[in-house]
Structure formats: C-alpha cells, structure tokens
Amino acid sequence: MSEIFIGDDLVKILLVLVLGTAALVITQRSLTSLISIYAIQSVILAAIAMSLYSREATGSLLFMAILTIISKVIIIPFFLKRLLKVMPIKRDLEFRYLTPIGSIILATALFFVVYQAFSALSAALDAGPLFILGAVIGVSLALMGMMVIMSRKKVITKIIGYLSMENGVLLFSLFIAEMPFIIEVLIVVDLLMIIVLSAVLAFGIDSSVEAFHKRLNQLGLDFED
C-alpha cells in the first residue's frame, strides 16, 4: 500500500512539472529554449507513462513511453534544432493578443475552469482523484498549446504550441480515455509530417525558387538545381 502512495506522490510531482513546462512554453521567447522545454515536457510524460505501467503493468503504457522518448525527445527536437540553425531568427519576440503575463493569467483561469468542470463530472467518470487530476492537467495543457498557436506569430513557435497540444491529448489518454497504441503511432507520424510541411512552407514563403532550393539543401533535403 505504501508503494502505491509513493507512486501516486511521484505522479503528482510529475504532473506539477508538466504544468511548469507549459507555463514556460507560453512565456518563453528563445526558440532554442522552447525546443528544449518541449523535449523536457515529453520526458516527463514518458516518466508518467512508466509510473502508471509500474502499477498497472499494461503493455500499451510501456510502448507509449518508449515511443514518446524516441519521437518527441530525440527525433522531433533534433529536426527542429537543425531547422533553427539555418533560420535567420533565434527569438520570438512578438505576442499577438496576449502579453506573457496575460498568457499566464489566462492559462491559470483555464486550469481552474477545467478543474471545476471535471470536479462536477468526477462521480459520473468513476475515476480516482489522481486520474481526475491527470485528466484536468491534460486538457489544460491542450488548451495552453492552442493558446500558443493563437497568440504567437513565428511558425516554429506555433509548431511547439501544436506539439504541446498533442502532449495534452496524450496525457489525457493516459488517465481517462486509453488511446490504442496504433493511434498514438499514427499521431506521431502525422506530427512528423506536419513539422516537415510547416518547415518547407516557412522557408519558401519569402524566397525565390533558387534560394528556396538552397535552403532546403541546408536541411539535407536534396533538390536538383
């Protein structure tokens, strides 16, 4: 029984850390730091999945943790950092509609609204306090990611917002609506495709055809001249 309590406390600490990374994502201006924060957030999600696996021994949780580490901690941050090296900007200083302080206030309000909604539904959901807390933070993280997409102007920042939103969906599925592993694989494939397409559009929108091909070659995407 004490091991379960220790496991619950560990998951609660990890959930608080997820909220911390979400707060950093909505206020951070350095693009390099944004990518690193996303990688750290994904590591925490993998740790949560492993903690739940240790108490429930469900194989999909283990595979989800491994997939998260490979795709969201290694592959996606690697590609984004490589993309950032050839981009002329390194910081996203422009906020649309919201300032960093306004973003924090709105995110806090969203969290309490979601918490109140799930508190009212807790009896119908037939889930324990830990699972309700996980679901609340999962939905809140998804909403914060959506807020980043709407309030920031740079494409790479919007990509991080979309990735955070997907992390929120994953967190929610870990606690309330278990997502089939194959669906998570398909979502990760979609994420990779979205990142590649967004990068191509971001590079091509303000350049000639020749300059566009040169920039793609810098990314390792070879095109014939």
In sequence order, which residues have a C-beta less than 8 Å from that of residue 199 and are 6 or more positions away?
A: 79, 83, 155, 219
Cα–Cα dist 103/162, whole Å: 16
**Rounded Cα–Cα distance for residues 17 and 30 (Å):** 20
How do residues 19-40 score in pLDDT, each as one tens digit?
999 989 888 888 888 899 999 9
Q: What is the pLDDT of residue 179?
A: 65
Q: Which string of DSSP letters, residue by residue, matches 122-154?
A: HHHHT--HHHHHHHHHHHHHHHHHHHHHHHB-S
Residue 214: predicted pLDDT: 64
Rank 2-6, 34-38, 83-87, 183-187 by mean pLDDT and report only the highest.
Answer: 34-38
**In whole angstroms, what is the distance from residue 153 CA to residue 77 CA?**
20
**For residue 186, how far is the Cα from the chain centroid?**
16
In angstroms, the CA 76 to CA 85 distance is 14
In 3D space, the residue among 162, 129, 104, 105 whose CA is nearest the CA of residue 15 turns out to be: 129
DSSP one-letter string for 164-187: HHHHHHHHHHHHTSPPPHHHHHHH
Strand partners, 30: 91
DSSP tag of 224: -
SS3 of residue 30 by DSSP: strand
| Half-sphere exposure (Cβ direction) of 175: Cα atoms closer than 13 Å | 27
Q: Is the pLDDT assigned to residue 213 strictly greater than 70? A: no
CA atoms within 13 A on the CB side of 129: 4
Whole-number Å distance between alpha carbons of 88 and 95: 19
Q: pLDDT tens across 108-132, in order?
A: 999 999 988 888 877 777 777 888 8
